[in-house]
Amino acid sequence: MGQYVTEIRCGGAVAVDDTIQVKGYETRAGSRILEGFRPLFSAEAVERLERAGYEIAGKSAVGEFGLDLLGEFAHGGANLDASGALRGAAAELVAAGSVKGALCVDLNGTPRRAAALSGVDFLKPTYGTVSRYGVIPCACSGEQIGVTAKAAGEVRELLRVIAGHDPKDGTSLPTETYSYNDGKAVAGMRVGLVRELSAAASDAVQARVTNCAGRLRGLGATVDEISLPLSDAARTAWNLLLCAETCNNVSRYDGVKFGYRSPDYRNIDELYVNSRTEGLNFLTKAVILYGSDVLSKGRYFTCYDKALKVRRLVWEQVKALFKDYDALLCPACAETAYRPYDIKDAFATVFAESLFTAVPNLTGLPAMVSGGVQFFADTLQEGTLLNLAEALEGGSAK
Amino acid sequence: MPERWETVIGLEVHVELSTKSKIFCACSTAFGGSPNTHCCPVCMGLPGTLPVLNQKVLEYAVRAGLALHCTIDRETRFDRKNYFYPDLPKAYQISQLYRPIARGGYVDIGGKRIRIHEMHMEEDAGKLIHSDYGHETYPDYNRAGVPLLEIVSEPDFRYGAEVVAYLEKIRSLFTYLGISDCKMQEGSMRADVNLSVRRVGESGYGTRTETKNINSLRAIEHAIESERSRQIHILSGGGAVVQETRHWNDDTKSSTAMRSKENAPDYRYFPEPDLPVIHISEDFLQTARDSLPEFAEARQARFVSEYGIPEKHAARLTVRRETAELFEAVVSHGADARDAANWLIVHVPHVLRTLSEGVEDIAPDAAELAELIRSTEGGAVSRADGLQILEALLSAEGPFRVADYIREHGMSVENDEGALEDVIRRVIEANPKAVGEYHSGKTKAIGFLIGQAMKELKGKSTPAAVHERMEAALK
Ligand SMILES: [Zn+2]
């Protein structure tokens, strides 16, 4: 466990989620199936940090492939303890001041949820702005590296370093650098409060959102309640795509070339089956079964292809809202604290919670959590999100 | 009276593209090489890697699609095809199912049109090498990620000979395009045969089988004959053909069942999320159209009309683009077209056989070859000497001068100034058509006039001198 960040360090070191490769560090993505896997190269985002002079503090803990709620189902120790506190996760390391910031992969809202619970910031930028080269792949069409940090200024600083075109990533957008200084000012900003998402959260979280809306009005923004009727369909579509893509991506882990190999086999089929049976947890297996079902013959057009159509409809619906609003305000999760639960319930639990986070994963739009609430913005409008967070944190809005 | 049967065949042809690097990474595509030496994290499918499309592959695919008279999809994309096998490091192959690059083309063979259903791009898998002595299997990923085109025909073939003609036509088109060497023995062209039989007069299709592992044109004819007989035998006896995939064994000249429809894999295709949709611009398409060469058939017809050589010779000369181009270059350097055709069809291959070289390995200097042909056909050197010079020319490592060789070996050419002037005047008078063509801008015609002069001179001058005087005389 020596590579994981366990002690308080001062200064500007950055933690990297275990779903992101760092050369020389064992990269397990929280799974036994990758035990002993030492990547031959660092992720592009990590290389950019190192080139800019940042020290890599070590790996921050994630649940298996980042598929769970908060890292509660990691091989080698849960991130969520009985009291409901996070342990070893990026958000907790940042909150404790152990690191300046962290790179986290947002594939189903986990780092946003963790940031909301720990009271720190997380920004998932527009899909294609930060290279995915070196991310242990799961849901390629929507997963994105983002930055966890204590304040918006640090998020902006780190994101500037890691964002920009990477020829190694075919989905990388062509822009070479991003300043994130081009956001709308909060005074005069038009914010839409998403009715369906707010209503689905607990009273405590709803109170947070209402309070935030009040403070924004005090800063000169207008806040209207708006409706995003497709948010539920967005959740279903994203979870369907995520399961299909993850099922496909983890099928390369066979116990042969790298990672965990079961000691118990008599032939090649047993080697495959036993390595996977022992190497993957219940949640990942559920994702594999669901994902392979929605891609099977006869189901592709009724499931997968429909999800792609929903993706387009949600995109159109959100884009229409951004004609009238600069940002959308909503909860990042349903509760203000979570307790450990049985892994057999994980699939349903993650599905339920991803209601609040699925739209940005499905559409590739940027999303930011700050002060325990969440904002969505239009494509490449990270500057607006950072201005909102900065203003609410009491800094000067740019 | 015995029943009459008709065979219905559809073909899936895989062609390896001859790009320098693989389809999604920078690794070499060179054939051979020690196992696992042309590999990187991308083509080994290590986690964290991402594919980036080699633009050359797209360019080659568009040109191939146009050559097959297909419609190019202006918005094409890749899909992931899932199957778990040790030769496939990612456990999926990046291929195209939903939006293939090209659809709906055709290939004409003789008097018959074979329709193309679609053509798509994909990556090749690795190879499994089975140990001769133990039970071990060694994967070699050098081939993993080599770019492939798969061409799927409609079930338009009725005879093995049509299949062979179709494959030869594709090989001709693709070698003319310079996008593949299409060598079946090296696996750069592979064909799977879908075959069913039906009683003559029936319009529906019978149950078909797919035969794989066919490695030569001869094998494909055997495989078709064998499968046709097998199915007719089953149906004649009142049985039913099982839809299945069969494996051809060329040693035993028979096939065995690999898997039936029931346990056929479900490939669970879905759009490749790591590669964006490819938009093909009108400019890109136009550049591809403009780059299409004159293919063998058109060139063959032109050779007959332009050079007056027999159809049979024109066909032989246009099998390979390089031979056709060499022929025209040699003629433009003053060799007689019929002589040049004869040399390229008979003498050059003969000498190459004695040198044990392939015709693809040589690229002789056209001017020197033209001079050699003129000198020999004009009688300045004997045929035996001419062939000896040809052997020297074809095996020369560096620059080779036919004139120097002739001089050094005591076959020096006389220079008769008076005779030269005389001959040039006579040739110009006797060939008003060529002279007219020359004056109207078809400067190639001078080659014909030089050839005629050299023939009359029986080698008693150098081509350079004839060229100089002829040009002056034509002014
Ligand atoms: Zn490679």
Residues A286-331 pLDDT 10s: 999 999 999 998 899 999 999 999 999 999 999 999 999 999 999 9
- Asked if B206 has any chain A CB less than 8 Å from its own CB, the reply is no
Q: How confident is the model at residue B330, as a pLDDT?
A: 95
Q: How confident is the model at residue B416, as a pLDDT?
A: 59
Hey, which CATH number is domain A2-235+306-392, 3.90.180.10, 3.30.70.260, 3.40.109.10, 3.90.1300.10?
Answer: 3.90.1300.10
- Asked if A295 has any chain B CB less than 8 Å from its own CB, the reply is yes
| Cα–Cα distance, A175 to A157 (Å, whole number) | 17
Q: How confident is the model at residue B415, as a pLDDT?
A: 52
Residues of B in contact with A21 (CB under 8 A): 47-48
Could you tell me if B300 and B441 lie in one domain? no
Could you tell me if B396 and B453 lie in one domain? no
- Are the beta carbons of A248 and B45 separated by less than 8 Å? no
Residues of B in contact with A167 (CB under 8 A): 52
Which among B58, B90, B274 is the top mutation candidate for probing chain A, defined by the most A β-carbons within 10 Å of its own β-carbon?
B274
- Are the beta carbons of B52 and A168 separated by less than 8 Å? yes
| Total number of domains in chain B | 3
Tokens 């063509």 label which residue?
Answer: B437
Q: How confident is the model at residue A77, as a pLDDT?
A: 83
Q: How confident is the model at residue A5, as a pLDDT?
A: 61
Task: Establish, for the pair of chains A and B, how many residue pairs have beta carbons separated by less than 8 Å.
Answer: 84
Q: Residue A351 above 70 pLDDT? A: yes
Q: How confident is the model at residue B328, as a pLDDT?
A: 95
Confidence bin at A7 (pLDDT 50/70/90): very low
Could you tell me if B107 and B225 lie in one domain? yes
Q: How confident is the model at residue B294, as a pLDDT?
A: 95
Q: How far is the CA of A140 from the centre of ligand 1 (A)?
A: 20
Q: Which residue of B has its CA nearest to A34?
A: B47
**A214 CA: distance to closest CA in chain B (Å):** 41
What is the DSSP annotation of B105-170? EEEEETTEEEEEEEEEEEEPP-EEEE-SSSS-EEEE-SSTT-EEEEEEE-S-B-SHHHHHHHHHHH
Of A134, A248, A304, nearest to B48 by CB-CB distance is: A134
Q: Stretch A30-36: mean pLDDT, rounded? A: 96
**B95 CA: distance to closest CA in chain A (Å):** 14
Could you tell me if B154 and B222 lie in one domain? yes
Alpha-carbon distances of B271 from A27, A150, A364, B117, B148, rounded to whole Å? 28, 38, 17, 20, 18
Q: Stretch A70-91: mean pLDDT, rounded? A: 90
Q: What does R_g of chain B's alpha carbons equal in angstroms?
A: 28
Alpha-carbon distances of A122 from A75, A117, A277, B25, rounded to whole Å? 24, 11, 34, 33
**B376 CA: distance to closest CA in chain A (Å):** 58
Tell me how crowded residue A137 is: count the other CB atoms within 10 A of its CB: 26
Cβ atoms of A183 and A381 closer than 8 Å: yes
- Are the beta carbons of A252 and B89 separated by less than 8 Å? yes
Could you tell me if B38 and B148 lie in one domain? yes
Q: How far is the CA of A32 from the centre of ligand 1 (A)?
A: 27
Q: Which amino acid is at A294?
A: V
**B50 CA: distance to closest CA in chain A (Å):** 6
Residues of A in contact with B266 (CB under 8 A): 296-297
Q: How confident is the model at residue B414, as a pLDDT?
A: 52
Structure tokens at B178: 């310079």
Structural domain range at position B61 = 5-287
Q: Which amino acid is at B43?
A: C
**B84 CA: distance to closest CA in chain A (Å):** 8
Q: How confident is the model at residue B161, as a pLDDT?
A: 93
Could you tell me if B117 and B257 lie in one domain? yes
Distance of CA A8 to the CA centre of its chain: 24
CATH (domain of B463)? 1.10.10.410
Residues of B in contact with A252 (CB under 8 A): 45, 47, 89-91
**B225 CA: distance to closest CA in chain A (Å):** 33
- Asked if B410 has any chain A CB less than 8 Å from its own CB, the reply is no
Q: Stretch A255-264: mean pLDDT, rounded? A: 95
Residue where one domain finishes, among candidates B287, B311, B344: B287
Q: How confident is the model at residue A2, as a pLDDT?
A: 46
Confidence bin at A398 (pLDDT 50/70/90): very low
Of B91, B269, B274, nearest to A140 by CB-CB distance is: B274
- Asked if A10 has any chain B CB less than 8 Å from its own CB, the reply is no
Cβ atoms of B55 and B17 closer than 8 Å: no
Which among B82, B268, B275 is the top mutation candidate for probing chain A, defined by the most A β-carbons within 10 Å of its own β-carbon?
B268
State chain B's mean pLDDT as an integer: 91
Residue where one domain finishes, among candidates B396, B412, B428: B412
Could you tell me if B250 and B172 lie in one domain? yes
| B366 Cβ neighbours under 8 A, 6+ residues apart | B326, B329, B330, B332, B333
Task: Name which of A222, A130, A210 is nearest A173 in CA terms.
Answer: A130
Could you tell me if B47 and B150 lie in one domain? yes
| Predicted-complex ipTM score | 0.93
Task: Name which of B157, B174, B65, B162 is nearest B109 in CA terms.
Answer: B162
Q: What does R_g of chain A's alpha carbons equal in angstroms?
A: 20
Q: Which residue of A has its CA nearest to B92?
A: A248
**A141 CA: distance to closest CA in chain B (Å):** 5
Residue where one domain finishes, among candidates B287, B305, B326: B287
Could you tell me if B380 and B469 lie in one domain? no
Q: How confident is the model at residue A170, as a pLDDT?
A: 94
- Asked if A40 has any chain B CB less than 8 Å from its own CB, the reply is yes
- Residues above pLDDT 90, as percent of chain A: 91
Q: How confident is the model at residue A396, as a pLDDT?
A: 44
Alpha-carbon distances of A131 from A44, A143, A145, rounded to whole Å? 6, 11, 8
- Residues above pLDDT 70, as percent of chain A: 96
Tell me how crowded residue A232 is: count the other CB atoms within 10 A of its CB: 14
Q: How confident is the model at residue A8, as a pLDDT?
A: 44
Residues of B in contact with A256 (CB under 8 A): 86
Structure tokens at A158: 């780190």
| Cα–Cα distance, B62 to B457 (Å, whole number) | 51
Could you tell me if B195 and B176 lie in one domain? yes
Reported pTM: 0.88
3-state secondary structure of A86: strand
Task: Name which of B88, B115, B87 is nearest B102 in CA terms.
Answer: B115
Could you tell me if B141 and B232 lie in one domain? yes
- Are the beta carbons of B91 and A248 separated by less than 8 Å? yes
Could you tell me if B98 and B210 lie in one domain? yes
Per run of 10 residues, the mean pLDDT along chain B (length 475 residues) is 87 96 96 91 96 97 98 97 93 97 95 96 93 84 96 96 95 95 89 94 92 91 95 94 93 89 84 96 96 94 95 93 93 93 92 78 86 86 86 88 84 62 87 89 86 77 77 84
Give chain A's length.
Answer: 398
Q: How confident is the model at residue B359, as a pLDDT?
A: 66
